[in-house]
Amino acid sequence: MADIIHLDNSNFAEETANGVVLVDFFATWCNPCKMFGRVLEQAAKEYEGSGKIAKVDIDNSPELAVKYNVSTVPHVVVFSDGKVIYEGPGTLTKPEILEFFK
């Protein structure tokens, strides 16, 4: 799989419009975010399908955090062709992450 991509206001709509995209809303100061980031990196290395894993730094893109009702981090929103199909806390395991891409 390609590297994890970083999203902000300038590329969010375009990058989430097609296929399955798992977006991790995180903050650099958040220790649970760092732990979940390692899980995402492992999943990205093993994943071999169509879709993307992406990250949004809520401190750099607060408008996106507000738009998707992110009140705690890490927070995951999964899109399929631009529509939200899942949202919840970023406590997913690697197998749970990979299920979205099957």
Q: Looking at the annotation, which residues are catalytic?
A: 30, 33
Q: Which residue has the tokens 């894993």?
A: 53
Query: Could you give phi then psi for residue 98, rounded to 5 degrees?
Result: -65, -25
Spacing of C-alpha 93 from chain mean position: 13
Instruction: Please state whether beta strands 52-57 and 5-7 pair in parallel, antiparallel, or not at all (unpaired).
Output: parallel
- Is the preceding peptide bond at 89 cis, omega within 30 degrees of 0? no
